[in-house]
Chain A
């Protein structure tokens, strides 16, 4: 049977690094980068005699995330030790949460080809990150030795486990984008896969359509972008389908995504069931999260992507497509919100942000937060257009200038002499001249090809360096040609 005869079933385990100032159990910074082993202290190095102390902000961020995905916040929660040996784990146990996670249940709605699908979330729990192995060679197996950088140990993580509700790669991509947006809106994580502040493991299995029982799953790791996640899923689904077609069994194992070769590779020769010997962390006391605290945190929640999207559509009257694009990133949505506070036409604002701003950001590689153009200036520019001071062509010039310099649009228009020419007297000479210079177009127009006027408008715009009021030009041409 080819792949389409199988149903793909997937669940996701997403780890996000929380952007608290300090680590989960000590005061070291969580900043990304830094020279090796400089963001460390006796506590996160697990030296003899040290003890952990919980960073309260981590709990707050976990509750925030739990509320944002409609989960149940545990009133009583605790940490547990997950015991295993590996050089990137200083204590050879990870302080994590086992049976009493801080959030249970919840969901995220994703849109897949017009329909809304609800992806269930099983749980969210808090844990500490491990360090990073820096291999001497290309890979671990071709290296004589590896060095360990412990900067990352103790960085707080949220592990977000989904129900096995995914049925195709697109749903996964939508989910990841939605989850990223939500966490960015909450300002609890940067969610940058390229920096490792968002990591995604996919559990994937196949079953014949109609079968209730899940097939054997493999776990995919090491995808460094949303695109890689999609490619890995597509590859693995195909690989499993082929194996099943040939009557082979799927081995339950962890597979790593090789970006260069575009394949998944087995990480273990035989599957070893890890016995982590979980037990309650005796160095930490359990946490009581009462209703009052949860409510206080709930009141700090910002407008979340779905709510914003709905408001953009229902209250501001934007089309769904615009609402989607604008709410994808917190920064863009905030820019839009600020602009609309100062200017009454949301659609116009949306267009400029989605098209021109996006284009310039892309070209320059800047983030919205870094660009010099501010919402108030965009609002001003849009008002200048409404007043007829500049036309849309000139506006593009002004916009780019604002982007590059951050200058006030009125200032730019003044300095560059870009005021729209809306005086028919001033345009008379040019209109006459262009008509005279383009007899063919005039003939075409008179013969019934009304579009030919467009060329003449274009010429006049060119002659006036774009400053002529195109509406007025059109009117004047039409008058003269119709007479």
Chain B
């Protein structure tokens, strides 16, 4: 059997029954990587030796009869903005090309405590800024469904790795759609949890009030399993919520009768690819057949979300990225005085999109503009959140396409930042409101995957999993594999 095609829960069962070892699983995955990685370029740093050592250690524990976590011994991949002690963490940037963190982030630690096997650090848009992984300083990753189209971004590499069966699951980060959009483009499951559900300690910050870590998986059950492990309060993260983490797998009942699904009309406007629209309409019909009640609703301030995001996120980013100045770590340009050193280092170390956003952010915070831009955007953000609060009084989940199009060609939007930003139009409000959303495979258009997005109110991931799982099990989209 092709071990690399297994889901995490399938692999877990085999491991528990001792029908397969973690080393075997890991080796299968490494072989697969050798096969396909030259084509897809999902990774920045390989961790082969460490992975096998971890796998061996887990197998030994299992042999001793220790009770292990459901994720134990299962090969996975981390986006390269997760600080991993002793392993390069580049954030897809020349600025941190050789940066080796002296510490593990909290989620990384949790996975280690659960005996995970780390295969690689995944490629990404530089500092998580982008929607196609074309902004990586180390070359783009390719969509396994069609090597001529983007995998999405910024967590492109993490999505590719799962879609190409280079690992059983991966983690990415989502600030404006950076998990959900690549999940949709690559035909896999991607979840952005409620803001504060998963610790950000160790995640290199892009926009502090928007960033969240989340899983990429081959099916919804895996997503629930991963959330069980990574969610929970962290005393090292002041924005981490003090809520209990349920066993999310209990929500996978398959029963969504009577569940109320809202279809926000502002998300179904012109600009959606007809093929994508058709897939989503079919999905809505199917959900109704499964017993859900689908009805139109309104999120009136939707059109302000993109502008508000592109003021708030760059503002926070301009401050979060100020530390990259060549003084303590990372890239340093040679120069004669301090100011020149700062300027050259940051001019040479950062790519174009990062510089663009730092400038936008600095402008929006500057004296004379703060009130008109940043402060105003924060107020708009409150209105957007209130739209969702009102909608969730009536509905259990909301539904939309994850992206207005399928994966676009390389270079198609790279020279037009505005067009690139628009590809986030359905995902971005969710980050502003801090609520959770999941993208699941819903079909194909022009032979490329189409993602369906479900949004829930804060800490309602269980409900999202319930609906997503029911839809998934009524279809086979999650079983489709690209022909690499």
Interface residue ranges, A against B (CB under 8 Å): 42, 45-54, 81, 83, 85, 87, 90-93, 148, 275, 277-279, 282-285
Contact = CB atoms under 8 A, between A and B. Distances in A.
Given A85-B342, A277-B362, A93 B101 contact: no
A49 B205 contact: yes
A285 B240 CA distance: 10
Interface in B47-76: none
A47 B329 contact: yes
Given A48-B91, A277-B362, A282-B316, A83 B239 contact: no
Contact of B238 (A47, A275, A285): A285
Given A48-B89, A81-B319, A277 B370 contact: yes
A47 B236 contact: no
23 contacts: A42-B101, A42-B102, A46-B323, A47-B103, A47-B329, A48-B96, A48-B99, A48-B101, A50-B201, A51-B237, A51-B238, A51-B239, A53-B237, A54-B238, A85-B322, A85-B325, A87-B338, A277-B319, A277-B366, A279-B374, A282-B208, A283-B208, A284-B238
A91 B239 contact: no
B319 A83 contact: yes
Given A83-B322, A92-B322, A284-B238, A45 B362 contact: no
Nearest to B361: A277
Contact of B201 (A45, A49, A148): A49
Contact of A52 (B102, B235, B238, B370): B238
For the complex of A and B, 4 pairs with smallest distance between CB atoms: A92-B322, A282-B208, A277-B365, A49-B83
Interface residues of B, number: 43
A91 B322 contact: yes
B201 A279 contact: no
B105 interface: yes
Interface string B364-405: 011100100010000000000000000000000000000000
A47 B202 CA distance: 9
A37 B189 CA distance: 45
Which of A49, A91, A93, A282 has the most chain B CB atoms closer than 10 A to its own CB?
A: A49
Contacts of A284: 238-239
B45 interface: no
B103 A283 contact: no
Contacts of B208: 282-283
A457 B91 CA distance: 90
A51 B236 contact: yes
B203 A275 contact: no
A52 B201 CA distance: 9
Contacts of B407: none
Contacts of A45: 328
Contact of A90 (B105, B316, B328): B328
A191 B327 CA distance: 31
A53 B315 CA distance: 22
Contacts of B203: 49
Contacts of A48: 83, 89, 91, 96, 99, 101, 204-205, 323
A144 to B, nearest CB: 11
Contacts, number: 93
B209 interface: yes
Given A277-B362, A284-B238, A47 B325 contact: no
A85 B322 CA distance: 8
Contacts of A50: 201-202
B200 interface: yes
A85 B202 CA distance: 23
Given A53-B238, A275-B366, A47 B101 contact: yes
A279 B315 CA distance: 9
Contacts of A279: 315, 319, 365, 370, 374
B342 to A, nearest CB: 6
B319 to A, nearest CB: 5
B15 to A, nearest CB: 31
Interface centre among B203, B208, B319, B342 (most CB of A within 10 A): B319
Main secondary structure of the interface of A (DSSP, over half): loop
B324 to A, nearest CB: 8
Given A48-B323, A49-B81, 9 more contacts: A42-B103, A49-B203, A51-B237, A87-B327, A87-B338, A275-B366, A282-B207, A283-B205, A283-B239
Nearest to A84: B322
Given A277-B362, A284-B238, A49 B101 contact: yes
B157 to A, nearest CB: 18
A330 to B, nearest CB: 34
A275 B338 CA distance: 19
A275 B362 CA distance: 10
B204 A83 contact: no
Contacts of B366: 275, 277
Interface string B186-222: 0000000000000011111101110000000000000
B316 A277 contact: no
B234 to A, nearest CB: 9
A46 B81 CA distance: 15
Interface string B237-249: 1110000000000
A45 B203 CA distance: 16
Nearest to A282: B208
User: Which residue among A51, A91, A283 has the maximum number of chain B CB atoms within 10 Å of its CB?
Assistant: A51
A283 B319 contact: no
Nearest to B99: A48
Interface in B78-93: 81-83, 89, 91
A90 B330 CA distance: 13
A339 B202 CA distance: 55
A49 B85 CA distance: 12
Contacts of A87: 327, 338
B187 to A, nearest CB: 30
A90 B325 CA distance: 9
A279 B236 CA distance: 22
A53 B201 CA distance: 11
Given A50-B201, A283-B239, A284-B238, A83 B101 contact: no
B108 to A, nearest CB: 10
A186 B224 CA distance: 52
Interface in B103-131: 103, 105
A275 B367 CA distance: 6
Contact of A51 (B101, B201, B319, B367): B201
A282 B316 CA distance: 8
Given A53-B238, A277-B365, A282 B209 contact: yes
Nearest to A41: B103
B464 to A, nearest CB: 25
A90 B323 contact: yes
Contacts of A42: 101-103
A148 B322 contact: no
Contacts of B207: 282
Contact of B102 (A47, A83, A283): A47
Contact of B239 (A54, A93, A285): A285
Contact of B325 (A49, A92, A275): A92
A105 B63 CA distance: 68
A83 B321 CA distance: 11
A33 B325 CA distance: 27
B95 to A, nearest CB: 10
Interface string B271-307: 0000000000000000000000000000000000000
Nearest to B102: A42
A58 to B, nearest CB: 14
Given A49-B105, A51-B236, A93 B202 contact: no
A49 B239 contact: no
B406 to A, nearest CB: 33
A85 B238 CA distance: 25
Contacts of A275: 366-367
A277 B367 contact: yes
A379 B4 CA distance: 85
Nearest to B82: A49
A475 B365 CA distance: 87
Nearest to A148: B327
A26 to B, nearest CB: 9
